[in-house]
Structure 1
Amino acid sequence: MRFSPALLACVLASPALAEDTFPATLAGHAFLPAFTMITPPQDAPRDLWVSGKFTGPQRNDAPMSVEGDVGKTYGSHKTGISVPFLGQPVQGMSGFAMNRDEDGSWFTLTDNGFGSKINSPDAMLFFHRMLPDFATGQVIRHETVFLRDPDHKVPFRIANEATDSRHLTGADFDPESIQYLDGEIWIGDEFGPYILRVARDGKIVSVHQTKLDGKVLNGPDTAGVVVPAQPGKQFQVQRSGGYEGMALQPGSNLLWGMLEKPLLAEAGQPEGNFLRVMTFDTAKADWTGDSYRFHLAEGATAIGDFNFIDETRALVIERDNGEGDARHACATDAKDQSQCYPQPAKVKNIVLVDTSSIDAEGYIRRIGHIDLLDIADPEGKALEGMKPVEGNFTFPFFTIEDVARVDDTHIMVANDNNLPYSGGREIGKAANNEFILLSVPELLAAK
């Protein structure tokens, strides 16, 4: 087959075709059990001692009475865990901070609770210090810090407005990305989207609206956006499309906030197959005015995390909306989907980008990636019950939302298990919070 010169130039310029795929080898595997609960602090309202009461069509106060399932799109498989919960679920991890604590533990984040602003008013917001032990396969939770607003820094009414403690919940924010700098925590939220500056003890210091080209960006869940609202006009950020990734750049201490999904153009449709990235100056606590674009690979619909590995290069998780190993995919015409995955995982990548290389249209250069659905495991590091019967190890979860550099040759990756609504590893069983250590020397050395 012969190509015209114009078509050939287009093909050669395609990011998907020009990009290298690097190998990945499993070097460690650990997990936090899906059903891991924590007790609210003593000053929390009694309402928060039972969580998940509003996940159904009406209020439900009977603990452990409604079993979760993955939803019709994914085969309606039950997960074996029921809401409401006694206590607060640690559930899925939604971000790793680049900088670790002095004891080597990782700052990591739990998201808004049960997936939306409406169903999470009794889900408390918190971050953790965790340390996976890849020798034993366990994840140690050193500390959990609950977010609260005693100084009334949040610029809208919160769910616990009338309480003295003013603990924040999933009805207030959806925290999805975290960074640690000079004793403070910075959190990227999806609802606003906002950037939260937080003291080490969980107290809100300040809340910052997002600005692009000098204009405030809103989402359908931003305080003050009144429904019905016209997509692309009253709000530009898609629902669940705020800061899924927010990288901290070494040296400059700029936060690079990357939206999870494409912005909506004025007509209400996505503006393109790319994600906006805006930079925020932590020293000035203000936006720099600079913005960039991250090009999604074919089949990818969103990103999961974003972290620098040096002063210019960074890792980005990009993913589709699939869940489950494709080796157990349902047949196209399968009526019984109880033992198969109707929408299996196909695109789950860790992409290396170079933020010092920006083209004329503002696109950040993609250097290459690893495929999380094709991980070699020659030493049998995968834990029992979480390894495939044959073939390479896979990480086939719907939402993979944590990545960070460990050293010159290793990275660590973890999933958000959306408790109790995601499986991915085993049909009929809620996904655990899995942490994997990957040996990827070629990826980390690529320029």
Structure 2
Amino acid sequence: MRLRQTAQGLAASLLAATILATPAEADQRFPARLAGHALLPAFSLHLPPADAPAEAMMSGRFAGPGNLRNDRPMSVMGTTGALHGNRATGISFPFIGQPLQGFSGFSRSRAADGSFYAIIDNGFGNKRNSPDALLLFVRVMPDWASGAVDVRERIFLRDPDRVIPFRIVNEGTRERYLTGGDFDPESIQVIGDTVWIGDEFGPYLIRATLDGRVTGLFETMLDGQVLRSPDHPGLVQPAAPGRDWRVPRSGGFEGLAATPDGTRLWAMLEKPILTAEGQSEGRFLRVLEFDTAAGRWTGRSVKYALEQGATAIGDFNMIDATRALVIERDDGEGDPSLACPAPNQPRPDCFPNPARFKRVYVVDLAQTDANGFVRKLGHIDLMDIADPEGLARVETAANPPLRGRFTMPFFTIEGVVAVDDAHILVNMDNNLPFSSGRRLDRAADNEFILIRAPELLAAR
């Protein structure tokens, strides 16, 4: 028996070595196995800085119907919205304090203690409903043994030196803390003692210090022209798509990747931009190169093709000098086994728009075709992760129940980074209090997932 097991183990090792050494096909699927699962509870609140405006002690005032101010704490029940059946999530707002949610991207580099830098997004989803949500980035460390997430530091963004050239929500204050009414930060890279943040409203690149002080703001340039979204502060209404703005709303810099030497950033837009006629230029995204030392766009760009079934990307991070990880996703949430019979007739016991396409791709920016499209080397499926050890800490609503298998059935999966040669870390933005996914009747927690995927990371 032992000899037979040894022979089987040798065969498996040889097969794994062969897979690692073989060039990947464009859409080759690699295996993925759950190696760790940690959660920060959905209802996690924290205090604003002591010198922030007093109104920051409450958040979500404008996140209800009509974006009209509501000063009654916990008076409006969060729901999943029309796209996902308007199911109640069990958490009401406005909040006393600031919610710790909206994890939207990891930095490739880590802090000295090994913790991960992560960006927090604009608050409640758009510019109108988030002027009382303070912007920040954090240092977090998942504990895979206990399943807890240690938030080791919260760094609030501020502009005391008046670097930002347009009026901000906290314009007349001393520290000028930034809010979700000013920017929508969705991606982050820390290079030495400098923090770079990708924004969706401009879209802009924001440069800051490790203690959150803004030191630079950079317009987006493509082919010598400024790229703007409908939320750009310089836009004058009425504005024509394609002429006055080419980046769709919520289509700015969802991904921001840094080369290992820190000399270049690659910024990826979340959605296809528009042509001069106001139409989408195709099912692909622009990826633009930025020189960090010079503080300017180099003029180089590549194209990233979206797969059928994907509507956007969630994050983008370099593995090495040319290869990168990219999350592609659809807009669905919830396990497909509980799909509503009629999507236009939602019920409380089913998902009208379930999650179907959630993947992590590895691409090579140095390999482009004649049309400038980067080569995809393969992917893992986040809706089909092996869990033979039963490491999942939260049960997923599914029929039949998941056994030995783990999924990420979330609307917005927005963080990915390589941990070592065999593992990646993935997390999601839980859109508190508006998304569920894991359960039908409960707001999603902030989940951090460690995935073993050595073949994906070795693909070339």
TM-score (norm 2): 0.92
User: Structure 1 counterpart of 2:149, which letter?
Assistant: V
Partner of 1:32: 40
State which of 62, 67, 78 in structure 2 corresponds to 1:54. Answer: 62
SS in 2 for 1:98: strand
- CA shift, 1:72, in A, is 1.6
Hey, what's the Cα distance between the residues in 2 that align with 1:309 and 1:46?
42
Hey, what's the Cα distance between the residues in 2 that align with 1:186 and 1:80?
35
Write the mapping of 1:150-189 to structure 2, written as runs, cut at 5 A: 150-189=160-199
- CA shift, 1:302, in A, is 0.3
State which of 421, 427, 433 in structure 2 corresponds to 1:408. Answer: 421
Partner of 1:7: none
RMSD after superposition? 1.4
State which of 399, 402, 405 in structure 2 corresponds to 1:390. Answer: 402
- CA shift, 1:92, in A, is 2.2
User: Structure 2 counterpart of 1:156, which letter?
Assistant: F
Q: Which residues of structure 1 form unaligned runs of 5+?
A: 1-16
SS in 2 for 1:351: strand
SS in 1 for 2:376: strand
Hey, what's the Cα distance between the residues in 2 that align with 1:324 and 1:387?
8
Hey, what's the Cα distance between the residues in 1 that align with 2:37 and 2:236?
45
Partner of 2:359: 349
Cα distance per residue 1:84-109 (max 9 Å; x no partner): 00000111210000000000000001
Partner of 2:369: 359
SS in 2 for 1:205: strand
Hey, what's the Cα distance between the residues in 1 that align with 2:412 and 2:298?
30
Hey, what's the Cα distance between the residues in 1 that align with 2:272 and 2:385?
29
Cα distance per residue 1:283-311 (max 9 Å; x no partner): 11111110110000001010000000111
**Equivalent pairs: percent with the same residue?**
56
State which of 436, 443, 448 in structure 2 corresponds to 1:435. Answer: 448
Q: 1:18 to 1:147 in 2, by over 3 A?
A: closer
Does residue 86 (structure 1) correspond to residue 84 (structure 2)? The answer is no
Hey, what's the Cα distance between the residues in 1 that align with 2:280 and 2:190?
32
SS in 1 for 2:337: helix
Hey, what's the Cα distance between the residues in 2 that align with 1:418 and 1:169?
16
Q: 1:152 to 1:387 in 2, by over 3 A?
A: same
Write the mapping of 1:52-131 to structure 2, written as runs, cut at 5 A: 52-56=60-64, 57=66, 58-131=68-141
Kindly indicate whether the alpha-carbon contact (under 8 Å) linking 1:68 and 1:79 is maintained by their aligned counterparts in 2.
Answer: yes
Hey, what's the Cα distance between the residues in 1 that align with 2:28 and 2:85?
34
Cα distance per residue 1:224-281 (max 9 Å; x no partner): 1022211111000000000000000113621100000000111212110000000000
- CA shift, 1:386, in A, is 4.6
SS in 2 for 1:68: strand
Hey, what's the Cα distance between the residues in 1 that align with 2:381 and 2:189?
25
SS in 1 for 2:113: coil
Partner of 1:216: 226
User: Structure 2 counterpart of 1:236, which letter?
Assistant: R
Partner of 1:5: none
Hey, what's the Cα distance between the residues in 2 that align with 1:95 and 1:390?
28
State which of 17, 22, 29 in structure 1 corresponds to 2:30. Answer: 22
Q: Which residues of structure 2 form unaligned runs of 5+?
A: 1-24
Kindly indicate whether the alpha-carbon contact (under 8 Å) linking 1:387 and 1:393 is maintained by their aligned counterparts in 2.
Answer: no
SS in 2 for 1:422: coil
Comparing 332-341 with 48-57, greater Cα deviation is found at 332-341
Partner of 1:4: none
Hey, what's the Cα distance between the residues in 1 that align with 2:394 and 2:214?
41
Cα distance per residue 1:45-89 (max 9 Å; x no partner): 011110000112221000000010001221111011111000001
Partner of 1:258: 268
User: Structure 2 counterpart of 1:39, which letter?
Assistant: L
Q: State the 4+ residue runs in structure 1 displaced beyond 3 angstroms.
A: 333-336, 384-388
Q: 1:421 to 1:140 in 2, by over 3 A?
A: same
Q: 1:310 to 1:78 in 2, by over 3 A?
A: same
Cα distance per residue 1:90-135 (max 9 Å; x no partner): 1121000000000000000110000000110000000000000011
Hey, what's the Cα distance between the residues in 1 that align with 2:44 and 2:302?
38
Cα distance per residue 1:132-168 (max 9 Å; x no partner): 0011000000000000000000110000001112000
SS in 1 for 2:155: strand
Hey, what's the Cα distance between the residues in 2 that align with 1:18 and 1:337?
39
Partner of 2:15: none
State which of 50, 54, 59 in structure 2 corresponds to 1:42. Answer: 50
